[in-house]
Amino acid sequence: MSAGTENAASFELVADDGAPLLEVEDLHVEFRTREGLAKAVNGVSYSVRAGETLAVLGESGSGKSVTAQAIMGILDTPPGFVTGGAVRFRGEDILKLPEERRRALRGASMAMIFQDALSSLNPVFTVGWQIGEMFRVHQGMSRKESKLRAIEMMDRVRIPSAKQRVNDYPHQFSGGMRQRVMIAMSIALNPALLIADEPTTALDVTVQAQVMDLLAELQRESGMGLILITHDLGVVADVADRIAVMYAGRIVETADARDLYAKPAHPYTKALLGSIPRLDAKGQDIAVIGGLPPTLTKLPSGCSFHPRCRYMRPEPCQTEVPPLVSFEANRGSACHFWQEVLDGTDR
């Protein structure tokens, strides 16, 4: 219990030199399965600053969740193994830290919320108990005190009648309320970084809007960094400052939100944007991305996207993995023909 108290409340959120809060550098994660070696993360690098929202966009199999799990240190090992790279939190490579130090960081300095609150919350403990646990474990608070703080947190995430509901169990809350409980747990200790893994995918759209509003407000108040992992291009457009698009375990494009939607520089991003139906338009043809998502145990040679790419040419797409080329401030693309894509030459 005492190991956690050192990290408790006193730290500076604002990075004075503008250095990133979290820096992921060339991360590699593999899964050893009976079907073979699944390369879930293949050299992923991104960073988040305090007060910033980075959206990590990708479909299933892109490796976006696995990366987050590796950052938090909650990867299922075995079968998952971090086989390379570094994760720097405030300059310190946390992959090299002993497990107790990582555990102290978890919850207090960096927190994570998940898609399905019902399975992330323990059904046999009250909501107040679970939120209070953060205070008891990391700050050595008494039960009475931690319960009071739990009510405070529930108020902060706008759960009505917090004082009565603190003694309720998770199943007595609706989906949206449960998600708020999870958010309350995660921000209880004022973490510098919050990772949200598909936090609203399982929620109705009106509830989703409420929860996203809440996250934005909490971020504004506390200045924490937020990594939002999702596949929803609409949610990303609403809240992200910067976006990293992932495909088959690699980052294929990074950009500011406006740039990405207006001028994509990677064929996958471009195709994705063209394939989603929009609320405000009808009758336009939605472009189709042919083929299938990649199998992680048998990745295509060269660029993983080449079997489905309109811009593909056998040389070099099938033979050379395109590096993430940074061509502007905050802009990068991992495509041999990024200039063509950017210029909009339609193929």
Partner 1 sequence: MSNVDPSLVIPLDPVAVPGAGDRPRSLSQDAWEDLRRNPIVLICAAVIVLLLLMALFPGLFTHTDPHLCDLSNTRKGPSGHAWFGYDQQGCDIYSRTIHGARASIAVGVLSTIGVALIGGIFGMLAGFYGGIWDTIVSRVADVFFAIPFLLGAIIVLTTFPSGNAHSFWLPVSKVVIALTLFGWPSLARIMRSTTLQVKEADYVAAARALGASTPRILRVHVLPNAVQPVIVYATIALGGFVGAEATLSFLGVGLQPPAISWGIDISTAEAIVRSSPHVLLFPVVFLSVTVLAFILLGDAIRDALDPKQR
Partner 2 sequence: MAPTDEVVLDVRDLVKHFALTQGVVLRRTIGAVQAVDGVSFQLHRGETLGLVGESGCGKSTVAKLLMGLEKPTSGQAFYNGQDIFTLDAGAKRKLRRQIQLVMQDPYSSLNPRMTVADIVGEPFEIHPEVAPKGDREGKVKDLLDVVGLNPEHINRYPHQFSGGQRQRIGIARALALRPEIIICDEPVSALDVSIQAQVMNLLEQLQDEFGLSYLFIAHDLSVVRHLSDRVAVMYLGRIAEIGTDVAIYEHPTHPYTQALLSAVPVPDPTMRGRRDVIRLEGDVPSPADPPSGCRFRTRCWKAQQKCADEVPELVERAVTSEEFRHASACHFAEERRIIPA
Out of partner 1, partner 2, none, which partner does residue 258 contact, by CB within 5 to 8 A per kind? partner 2
- Residue 13's binding partner among partner 1, partner 2, none (Cβ under 5 to 8 angstroms by kind) is none
- Contact segment (CB under 8 A) with partner 1 among 7-15, 42-50, 278-286, 288-296 equals 288-296
**Under rule CB under 8 A, residue 176 binds partner 2:** yes
In the chain, the N- to C-terminal Cα span, in Å, equals: 60
Which of 66, 151, 162, 235 touches partner 2 by CB under 8 A? Answer: 235
The rounded distance, in Å, linking the Cα atoms of 124 and 311 is 54
- Tell me the β-bridge partners of 28: 42, 84
Instruction: Please tell me the distance from the alpha carbon of residue 326 to that of residue 334, in angstroms, as a whole number.
Output: 9
From the list 1, 124, 279, 329, which residue makes contact with partner 2 (rule: CB under 8 A)? 279
Q: Which residues pair with 330 in a beta bridge?
A: none
Instruction: Note the helical H segments in 173-256.
Output: 175-187, 205-222, 233-239
Rule CB under 8 A: say whether 232 interacts with partner 2: yes
Residue 271 partner contact from partner 1, partner 2, none using kind-dependent CB cut-offs of 5 to 8 Å: partner 2
CA–CA distance, 331 with 296 (Å, rounded to integer): 27
Residue 276 touches which of partner 2, partner 1, none (Cβ within 5-8 Å per kind) = partner 2
Q: Is residue 185 close enough to count as binding partner 2 by CB under 8 A?
A: no
* Nearer to partner 1 (CB atom), residue 220 or residue 347: 347
Residue 54 in the binding site for partner 2 (CB under 8 A): no
Stretch that binds partner 2, among 16-24, 94-102, 200-208, 332-340 (CB under 8 A): 200-208
44 three-class SS? strand
Residue type, 316: P
Tell me: does residue 271 bind partner 2 (CB under 8 A): yes
Only segment of 17-25, 34-42, 179-187, 327-335 that touches partner 1 (CB under 8 A): 34-42
Give the span between the Cα atoms of 47 and 54, in whole angstroms.
8
- DSSP, residue by residue, 132-191: HHHHHHHH---HHHHHHHHHHHHHHTT-TTHHHHTT--GGGS-HHHHHHHHHHHHHTT--
Of the candidates 87, 130, 78, 85, which has an alpha carbon nearest to the alpha carbon of residue 109?
A: 87
Chosen residue from 79, 91, 234, 291 binding partner 1 by CB under 8 A: 291
By CB under 8 A, name the one of 6, 220, 313, 319 that touches partner 1: 313
Residues in touch with partner 1 (CB under 8 A):
34-36, 288, 290-292, 295, 297-298, 307-308, 310, 312-313, 340, 345, 347
